[in-house]
Structure 1
Amino acid sequence: MRNTPPTNVSPRRFFSVVAVACLAACLGACDDADDADDARKSQATWTAAPQDYNERVPIEGFPPPTPRSFQDQSIRHVMRVSAGGDKVRVRVSNLFGATPLTLGGVHIARSTGGASIEASTDTALRFNGQASVTVSAGQESWSDEAPFSLPAQTDVAVTVYVPQATPAATEHSQGQQTNAIVSGNALGAATFTPTETQPSYSWVTGIDVSSAEARGVIVAFGDSITDGAASTVDAAHRYPDFLSRRVAADPALEGFSVVNQGIGGNRVLNATIGPKGVDRFERDVLGTTGVTHALILIGINDIGFGGFVPAQAVTANDITAGLQTMVDQAKARGVKVFLGTLLPFKGTAAPYFSEETEAKRQAVNAWIRANTARAQGIIDFEAATRDPADPLRLRAEYDSGDHLHPNDVGYEAMAQAIDLSAFR
């Protein structure tokens, strides 16, 4: 249909009006698109706190790590995500690398178990528009956001291809997950027979999703008890996994995710296994996309490791001062923070457990319980897991056997001890 000016309006004025109207319509459409984009939010749905593969443990009987490198190999990592979305991005970390890290490609797909994926969902990720990515030493890179239908509580696989000789550097050692390695470029392979497997995540440290339903992220921060030591491998039976399923099942918490930033062996005040807690809290918790809540459960290794390395012994007051530092950082950023009491550990091998170390644990827990106003609240993990007949011990049905780490049932009890109304 032709636009013909009315006889009583000059052609110049008519077409000016038409142009303005068209511009207004275009701007209105753009505003609608902007409103739609503004309604979408990104949030973390899976994380793994980065560690230095080559870090040494200064305790007799712990040998240095065996030098390792990858070349012309693909590593397929499997993750259980928390919240869902329709766009994803993946973080690649070279925080502890001494040289640049080059990956020839990074793909994401729905996992069907083991080294297999649902091939129709395989999606090649790009970094600044490129299929490959080089990450400088000490740096991290996020992929470009990509369309990807991802339901909540789904297993996904992130496969990376390492083309050139690359030393192992940044990893998450205790993934409680079997991850597969194969020779050659198998980025989009529907399945493969691995040449070896590993329980760790190499270089991949985060997955974010984007959706209109995103409301917040609950970050579980701590040591091996948060990381899920002794839980069933490949079962997602760590306490944050159980908590994530509880959150997903609660209609009042729709749009929340739960992610795990635990590191086995981690401490508040000393960097022996993973960076010390007071140093990594800013990055691993407050730097998590969409963080709204933090659950802090850490300190037992500060207490126990002092028996092995007297030079690194700390007092209960030292530990609580470190915890307070993290609480203050979270509150300054508007993140609601909860402190967890330290679990019983009687029966753990000496000198990790002793009368002296037990006294420190009791002092730390007394401080946590007496200072709830400093944080949003406390989670009494000790009360939820202790043996009524001997409160210094884990309940027998919750004990993995080492008297320090819960088993699957114990981790579920920990998750059940958390009052979900705190997040509503």
Structure 2
Amino acid sequence: MKDNWTTAHLAALAWQDAAFAFVPQPPDLAGRTVRQAVRLRRGGAAVRLVLSNEYGDGPLVIDGITVAVSGSGGPPDGDRGPRSARPVLRDGRARWEVPAGETALSDPVTLPAAAGDELLVSCFLAGAVPSATYLHSAQRTGEAAPGNQRDRPRLTGAEPFRSLHWIARVLVDAPARGPVVVAYGDSITRGDGTPADREQRYPDHLQRRLHAAGAGGAVVLNAGLGANRLLRTGLGPSMGERFGRDVLGVAEATHVIIMGGANDIALPGLLGERPPAADEITGGLLALASRARQHGIRPVLGTITPFGGSTLASFRTAGNERIRQEVNHAVRSQRDWPVVDFATAVADPDDPARLAAAYDSGDGVHPGGAGARALADAVDPALFA
């Protein structure tokens, strides 16, 4: 692979887990055409797909893949079909077979694209599909339709879904020409609670903010994963376990913004586990920052946003707010790494344990679109100069 292949899209994929009732389960995709759209953070003259079967219980067999570029935005529909679709080959073959536990890189596909364009990926899977390797909450609308409809502008009999399957990365043949920031965290980073198909997550706003500040080549990659914990495996690998894949594995990354710990505090009450102490969470955050720095990536720490108004009782368990406050105090007080005070940016001034009403998506935990913009506005562009 040429040295100038860089990441234009990244997704933190995980496994399906029926134990988390609040998480959407994957649809049955056997015998269907699956059309998904991802937004490219940088452009180039050619693309390559990285597809993952990391958590599958059998081989992932895709009988054919096509890609096309659309700049129109909005959910997949007849106006965004692949009118100029290009086949995506692997080792010169149209049929992909990705063994369980592995990922696969496509051959280059000549397909000019610009930063901000959507890449439409259409896969046909004739046979059985292994257990999901997916991003359960992607804030993007995909479609699944019966039969092989890869080349049709409009899918007949399509059913929508809001997860992202198999697409771990999209690479383009263009070198990095500015800061490459990995936004690393849980559902707050991922953007749960923001409007679907509208690119209103805080990393989306941050890339626009950096461009407006004069860093026109800046790229912000979203490595958020809903329900993710810093210290323990749950719905997917812990933040510590996947750091090598989703941060250190981005060769051109210059910075990482690390925000996590809310699920470490809240989920034990739901799962019948012992909650970690504040210093364990703080230690986990600082350990990730140290790992990043050892690999030449400059870390930025973020405070844990308020969740005292959560509609989920486990967030309101006695003692949880004290742990959050202790972690945030420790993060703000340390002097090794710069800090973004996300908590203060979206807190209710009259009750800092809760999200401000204007920033709340409605569940008391996840900021909506305005809240995500406030998170991005809290980040000083000078950190990435």
TM-score range, shorter chain: over 0.9
Structure 1 residue 167: Cα displacement = 3.1
Match of 1:403?
364
Match of 1:30?
none
Match of 2:330?
367
Judging changes above 3 Å, is the alpha-carbon distance between structure 1 residues 104 and 411 closer, same or farther for their aligned structure 2 residues?
same
Is the CA contact (8 Å cut-off) linking 1:231 and 1:237 kept in structure 2? Answer: yes
Structure 1 residue 347: Cα displacement = 1.7
Q: What secondary structure, in the 3-state scheme, does the structure 2 residue paired with 1:160 have?
A: strand
- Whole-Å Cα distance in 2 between the matches of residues 115 and 289 of structure 1? 35
- Whole-Å Cα distance in 2 between the matches of residues 389 and 256 of structure 1? 36
- Matched residue type, 1:356: G
Instruction: Tell whether 2:40 aligns with 1:84.
Output: no
- Matched residue type, 1:131: A
User: Which structure dedicates a bigger proportion of its chain to helix?
Assistant: 1
Instruction: Tell whether 2:124 aligns with 1:161.
Output: yes
- Whole-Å Cα distance in 2 between the matches of residues 49 and 170 of structure 1? 10
Q: What secondary structure, in the 3-state scheme, does the structure 2 residue paired with 1:273 have?
A: coil
Is the CA contact (8 Å cut-off) linking 2:57 and 2:130 kept in structure 1? Answer: no
Q: What secondary structure, in the 3-state scheme, does the structure 1 residue paired with 2:286 have?
A: helix
Q: Which moved more, 1:287-296 or 1:116-125?
A: 116-125
Is the CA contact (8 Å cut-off) linking 1:41 and 1:214 kept in structure 2? Answer: no
Judging changes above 3 Å, is the alpha-carbon distance between structure 1 residues 79 and 301 closer, same or farther for their aligned structure 2 residues?
same
- Matched residue type, 2:351: D
- Whole-Å Cα distance in 1 between the matches of residues 69 and 24 of structure 2? 32
Q: What secondary structure, in the 3-state scheme, does the structure 2 residue paired with 1:70 have?
A: coil
- Matched residue type, 1:386: A
Judging changes above 3 Å, is the alpha-carbon distance between structure 1 residues 324 and 57 closer, same or farther for their aligned structure 2 residues?
farther
Is the CA contact (8 Å cut-off) linking 2:52 and 2:104 kept in structure 1? Answer: yes
- Whole-Å Cα distance in 2 between the matches of residues 232 and 211 of structure 1? 30
Instruction: Tell whether 2:37 aligns with 1:74.
Output: no
With the length of structure 2 as denominator, give the TM-score of the two structures. 0.93
Match of 2:382?
421
Match of 1:210?
173
Instruction: Tell whether 2:166 aligns with 1:232.
Output: no
Structure 1 residue 72: Cα displacement = 2.3
Instruction: Tell whether 2:344 aligns with 1:393.
Output: no
Q: Of 150, 155, 180, which aligns to 1:187?
A: 150
Q: What CA deviation, in whole Å up to 9, does each residue of 1:242-300 have, x standing for no partner?
A: 1122233443x232211111111110112111211110111111112421111111100
Match of 2:211?
248
Judging changes above 3 Å, is the alpha-carbon distance between structure 1 residues 142 and 187 closer, same or farther for their aligned structure 2 residues?
same
Judging changes above 3 Å, is the alpha-carbon distance between structure 1 residues 121 and 216 closer, same or farther for their aligned structure 2 residues?
farther
Q: Which moved more, 1:107-116 or 1:226-235?
A: 107-116
- Whole-Å Cα distance in 2 between the matches of residues 305 and 119 of structure 1? 42
Structure 1 residue 235: Cα displacement = 0.8
Point out the structure with max Rg over C-alpha: 1
Q: How many residues get paired?
A: 380
Q: What CA deviation, in whole Å up to 9, does each residue of 1:152-180 have, x standing for no partner?
A: 11222111111212134211110111101
- Matched residue type, 1:236: E
Is the CA contact (8 Å cut-off) linking 1:78 and 1:179 kept in structure 2? Answer: yes
Instruction: Tell whether 2:102 aligns with 1:139.
Output: yes
Match of 2:54?
95
Instruction: Tell whether 2:256 aligns with 1:306.
Output: no
- Whole-Å Cα distance in 2 between the matches of residues 207 and 93 of structure 1? 12
Is the CA contact (8 Å cut-off) linking 1:52 and 1:171 kept in structure 2? Answer: yes
Match of 1:270?
232
Q: Which runs of 5+ in 1 are unaligned?
A: 1-36
Q: What CA deviation, in whole Å up to 9, does each residue of 1:5-26 have, x standing for no partner?
A: xxxxxxxxxxxxxxxxxxxxxx
Q: What CA deviation, in whole Å up to 9, does each residue of 1:199-247 have, x standing for no partner?
A: 0011112111122554442111111111111111111111111112223
- Whole-Å Cα distance in 2 between the matches of residues 119 and 402 of structure 1? 37
Instruction: Tell whether 2:345 aligns with 1:384.
Output: yes
Counterparts in 2 of 1:280-295, with a 5 A limit? 280-295=242-257
Structure 1 residue 67: Cα displacement = 8.1
Structure 1 residue 196: Cα displacement = 1.1
- Whole-Å Cα distance in 1 between the matches of residues 313 and 30 of structure 2? 42
- Matched residue type, 2:195: T
- Whole-Å Cα distance in 1 between the matches of residues 217 and 26 of structure 2? 42
Q: What CA deviation, in whole Å up to 9, does each residue of 1:369-413 have, x standing for no partner?
A: 11131x3x1111012111112222211111112111111100011
Structure 1 residue 148: Cα displacement = 1.5
Q: Which moved more, 1:193-202 or 1:220-229?
A: 193-202
Is the CA contact (8 Å cut-off) linking 1:305 and 1:312 kept in structure 2? Answer: no
- Matched residue type, 1:366: H
- Whole-Å Cα distance in 2 between the matches of residues 413 and 318 of structure 1? 28
- Matched residue type, 2:109: A
- Whole-Å Cα distance in 1 between the matches of residues 23 and 210 of structure 2? 40
With the length of structure 1 as denominator, give the TM-score of the two structures. 0.84
Judging changes above 3 Å, is the alpha-carbon distance between structure 1 residues 249 and 67 closer, same or farther for their aligned structure 2 residues?
closer
Structure 1 residue 194: Cα displacement = 4.2
- Whole-Å Cα distance in 2 between the matches of residues 273 and 154 of structure 1? 30
- Matched residue type, 2:361: S
% identical equivalent positions = 33
Q: Which runs of 5+ in 2 are unaligned?
A: none
Judging changes above 3 Å, is the alpha-carbon distance between structure 1 residues 110 and 66 closer, same or farther for their aligned structure 2 residues?
closer
Q: What secondary structure, in the 3-state scheme, does the structure 1 residue paired with 2:255 have?
A: strand
Q: What secondary structure, in the 3-state scheme, does the structure 2 residue paired with 1:167 have?
A: coil
- Whole-Å Cα distance in 1 between the matches of residues 145 and 69 of structure 2? 19
Judging changes above 3 Å, is the alpha-carbon distance between structure 1 residues 121 and 223 closer, same or farther for their aligned structure 2 residues?
same
Match of 1:28?
none
